Structure 1
Amino acid sequence: MKKFFVLTLIVITSITIIAANVLIPVGPTVFAFVGLLEGKITSEIPLKIDFWRSLDQVNAQLIAGTADVVVLPVSIGASLYSKGLGLKLGGVFLWGGFYIVSKEPLSSVDQLSSKEIYTPQGKGQTGDILIRMLISKYNLQNVSIKYLAQTEIVPLMSAGKASIAVLPEPFVTMALKSAGAQIAFDLQKLWFEMTELSEEVPITGIFISTKVEPSQAVKILQAISSSLKYALENKNEACQLSAKYLGGIGQDVLLQSLSRTKYEYRSAKESKQAVLTYLKIVTEIEPSVLGKLPDDDFFAY
């Protein structure tokens, strides 16, 4: 009976799939997948790409076993792994794109003391980690962090109800164009100053369900990498195609935002040291996100 149970577990946790269900966030990361969405790139393993709108949706689909690949902020994916939700890092493809934008003149980081700063989503996500690290490293005082969806922050700035925000592209470009904001600080450069590592932050990763057979996972990752390569080599077309998935964000905004965004696909193994360094900082700033750093098994691909 014991041998039968072990064999059954193996079958459940690693299966050959006919088609992979891929969940990507509603937002600009569609740029990396538009080649697949629009049939410009083909995948040896058929991919059904759908959009997630909340982390509750991601959790529900992982528990139900209806998600094979999920695109998530690196810290969130690592958190789900630590909670036993059966995800491993396949690769990282977004390494830069966060900025502090302001409607008031700011010439030094110290001037952020006693300011109200809006940041996307909630605690433990990329913008939150970067601004809280900045507050700690520069010993900023009385900073009030307000959490709001990034789609809501730009209209708030346009209406004069918010002055300073941490934003990713293309929302930075939108704030410059429609809210009269300016880029005050490049958070990638500040990351380098604070860590002395590089001007790259492992922002967004591709996470593979442990139930996907590893050889199939590799083929899926190859297709995603090819899709990003297509987009970077055909920026005008890719931005035009991406815009239809992003109501309200036009081709021109997406195209302009690319000059301040770093897309590059790197496997989990290639990204391992950068990811571990980032996650160590995440655990120091917001211990509830992870609890502990992921082990080697997390970096399976």
Structure 2
Amino acid sequence: MDGTVSYADDEERWRAVLRRDRQADGLFYYSVRTTGIYSRPSCVSRPARRANTVFFTDPEAAERAGYRPCRRCRPRGNSSHDSHLTAIAKACEQIHQAAEAPNLDALAEAAGFSRFHFHRVFKRLTGVTPQAYVAACRAERLRRVISEAETVTEAIYRSGFASHGNFYAMSQQMLGMTPTSFRTGGESIAISFSVAESPLGPVLVAKTEKGVCSVLTGGERGLLVRRLRDRFPKAHLVRANREFDKRVTTAVRQSELPRVGRDLPLGVHVTAMSERLRKALRDTPSEPSVQKR
């Protein structure tokens, strides 16, 4: 298959249907108005007229529109989709365990995909690009080891950064404060936090004047606040104002994992949602001065 094909519009999807493109399976589905049936792109059924063909991103969307699954290709069986889920879950595990940031080509080869196809399937299932997921895992590792390492330099290299320059160019975006301040428990730093509901339960987002410094999930609200205090025992913690609460609620809503990726492991959900949430809040105007409630 031409590596530049992206199935980005209906004409590209139609051409994939005509050639029964197996690499398109799981990326979209097509339905025929005259039969009321939806199928995989690779279905061996004779294609209908283009004018009678409509496209959907997943089986649920096709069924909500009133279409029934094809008995030949069984799109609900989703064998191709299941293989995509398995491949991406393994890739995410490889990224989490890698001492250094893995190469996209190596990840694609391990998954058995072309570079382009891997990138597209990964983003479709997780909502982030492989590069963004790698960066998120590296930042997670840094936040975990920065307090354990004897020096900031040791933490940088243990987290997979190739150089100080590469790290310091990204440190504010990853930590929301200087590495030294993060390492010393946020001494003299003002941190405001907000808690919003998500499909994964409560999510706590904490922010300094320099950016997001923590995204916590996995517990009730009181536990998340205690975890934040344990992480930054020397900081001044206050509840955020209503403006930031609204921004966090909106960002959490925008950061939900795509429906097609809902069967990925919980750890992938957490990492991907955290990265999408940070991205949604990144480079936005600073909130007004924090207020106690």
Instruction: Report the TM-score, using the length of structure 2 for normalisation.
Output: 0.29
Instruction: Report the TM-score, using the length of structure 1 for normalisation.
Output: 0.29
- Which of 1 and 2 has greater Rg? 2
**Taking CA–CA contacts closer than 8 Å with sequence separation of 6 or more, which of the two structures ends up with the larger relative contact order?**
1
Q: Going by fraction, where is strand more abundant, 1 or 2? A: 1
